[in-house]
Each structure stands twice: as structure tokens, then as C-alpha cells.
Amino acid sequence: MGNVEGRVGAFDADTEDEFRMRVRDWLQENLSGDFAAVKGLGGPGREHEAFEDRLVWERHLARAGWTCLGWPVEFGGQDATLEQQVIFHEEYARADAPARVAHIGEQLLGPTLIAFGTDAQRARFLPAITAVDELWCQGYSEPGAGSDLAAVSTSATLVDDAWVVHGQKIWTSLAHVADWAFVLARTEKGSRRHAGLSYLLVPMNQDGITVRPIRQLTGTSEFNEVFFDGARTDASLVVGGPGRGWSVAMATLGFERGVSTLGQQVGFARELSSIVEIARHNGTADDPVVREKLIRAWIGLKVMRAYALATLGGSGSEGEDSVSKLLWATWHRGLGELAMDVVGAPALMAPRGELDRLQRLYLFTRADTIYGGSNEIQRNIIAERVLGLPREARR
């Protein structure tokens, strides 16, 4: 499936060291010329940076075979091992390559379709994901169903040969540039909680959908509200079958916390290194309190990496996913606070009204412990489903 002519090819013959050098050399050669300008751009709180240029870069990646590495070959991937995927993400981050723009399709929807989709769904959507021809967004959270996703009220009714969708989603990353959305909707009237939900694939470019940007503390707007007012999608575009949306949606969240987190940690290490350099330059590193915080941040980063490596390719249990989310989100929010401690009073100023990188880091990381499953919900999951403690009383 898909056109793989000219792609990198299978990696079976490479040792890990050979593969690492292969990735490193390719990135060094290709992040040059016109593409040199996109190095270091994009990412959480900065998705507005050179978006179109980063899209061109990602399609360049696709033509060379560096997208969807872990997917099976028959679906347009490379069947890369977990070790090779880790190496790629680490080297990509070390090269200061731009943040990816099609990660929602590649890392979330693609694996979900491979696991739960029909042959027709895979044939329709997977080639466009590998080629970065179509971009995706995730329609999960709602004003009354954020961390408590089972409270979803967006509804979809089957009318003749189409699902007709009504409702609202919120905090929808990159909805303003997405071609499609995978939407969790209630398709069984009168159903409650986890029952009666379906996982629908909905085209974004239609009259029944309105996207409104949400302006954040950073001044950027990669999150959006999405309103469905009679939006339609084909009856066949339900993944896993009607009423099975909860299990499919949970599987998607499991895919979200995969090998790319190790690349994310390389980016975290770069942020920490820049803060350490500032502390040395402005003398705050001599403050024993600040110095201890810097050391604790370094230790926390090592703990995150050790945990990620220990659980990589494991059961993907709710406990493992929840611990991972708690580790990185809490650490990264703390890094933003540490950055402000190190910079000191100048951090309160924004010349010409523009935030610098560390100010943007601080403001955006305030949300790290909320999006993707809040810390409170992750702790409840660990307490109730892993440790077997009594369930929290529900109102």
C-alpha cells in the first residue's frame, strides 16, 4: 500500500550505530539550504512558526522515507524496530529539526487504523498520512468532558448513508489547518458514560463545521473550539464499528505516549542546558537554592529517560501511561518555573510585546499538567485501577 519508491528502504541490515549515523548524516545534509531556516521552529506554544515551510520540510521527509517508520511495510511504513524509532526521534531532536506538523495523523490515527480500521479505511487514509498530503486533528475534549472523556455529549445520528454530527469540541490542536478529524461522538441515544460512543472520521472542510481559535497566554492560538452543526461523514467512516468508540479512543491515547517521548526528552535536555548556561552567565548558578533546583532538574530528566526505556514496548497499561504523563508534565512545568527563577526580574519584561523562548516556555508549560489527561486524573487512574484503592466519590 502506498508509493514507497525512492524511500529509504528496510533497515534490517543496519546495526544500531550504523542506523544512527545514517539518520544523523541525512539530517545534516538535508537541514541545509532553504531548510536551514526552519531549524528549531515550531512545537508546543510555537506551532505558528513557519508552518507552511515546516509542512514542505515534512513532505521532503516523507519522500525520503522518514515518516511512519514503525508502521508495517504493507501500510507504507518501514517496519523499523523500537530501537531504530528511538534513534530516529533522538537524532531528529539533536539536529534541532523543526517540530513535526503531521504527528497527529502519523502517531495517533495511523496506528489506530492499522489496529482497528477496515481495509477500505486503511487504503483511503494511510497513504495520505505517510505522504503528509492530509493533516488530522483530534476531536475528544468538550466543555463538559475534558479530563472526564466518558461525559462526551457530541452526538451523531445515522441518516441514510451518512453520520450527521452535532456538538462542540474544545482544545482541538491544529484544527484550523486540519483536513480531517477523528471525533468521539455518542451514537446511541440515551446511552451514558463509556457505552454508545463511536469513533468517526469527519472531513473538516464543510459548511457544518466552524473552527474558532482560542488565544492562549502565549498569544498564540494552536488550540481551537470546533462546532459541529449538521456536519456529515460517510456511514462507513466509523472505526471499530458503532458503539466501540471508547475502546478505540483509549487505544489512540496509548499510541500517543510512544517512542517519540524519547525525542521529546532530548528537546527538554536542550532547554535545560540553555537555562544552565544563563545561570552560569548571570551568576544565579552560585545561589545554592537555584543550583539545587538545576541539579534536581537534571536528575528528573535522567529518571524520565530510564522509565521510558524500561517501559518501551511493554504492556502499555494505564498505569505505565499515567506515570509517564505525570513524570514529564510535572517536570516540564517545573522547568518553566526554574527558567523564570534563573532569568530573574528581566523575565517580567517583553520588549515590543514579544515573548522570548523562556517566557513562552514558562507560560505554555502551565498547561502541561492539564492537556493530554490532567495530573489529577492520572493519579486517580493509578490509585483506582492499579493500586486498587476505593474509587473517588462522584457527584
Q: Which runs of consecutive H residues, i.e. helices, occur in the chain?
A: 16-30, 51-64, 82-94, 103, 110-116, 119-130, 245-256, 260-282, 288-311, 318-343, 357-365, 375-381
CA distance 256 to 320: 13
| φ, ψ of residue 166 in degrees (nearest 5) | -130, 140
CA distance 27 to 162: 44
Contact (Cβ atoms closer than 8 angstroms) between residue 8 and residue 65: yes
114 three-class SS: helix
| φ, ψ of residue 229 in degrees (nearest 5) | -130, 80
The DSSP code sequence of 307-340 is HHHHHTTS---HHHHHHHHHHHHHHHHHHHHHHH
Contact (Cβ atoms closer than 8 angstroms) between residue 130 and residue 159: no
Nearest to 7 by CA among 50, 68, 57: 68
Q: Which helix (H) or strand (E) holds 227?
A: strand 224-234
CA distance 198 to 276: 48
CA distance 171 to 149: 13
CA distance 16 to 11: 10
Query: Is 256 labeled as catalytic in the residue annotation?
Result: yes
CA distance 328 to 321: 11
CA distance 31 to 207: 39
Cell numbers found for residue 30: 538535508
Select which of 106, 256, 271, 320 is catalytic: 256
Q: Which residues are catalytic?
A: 256
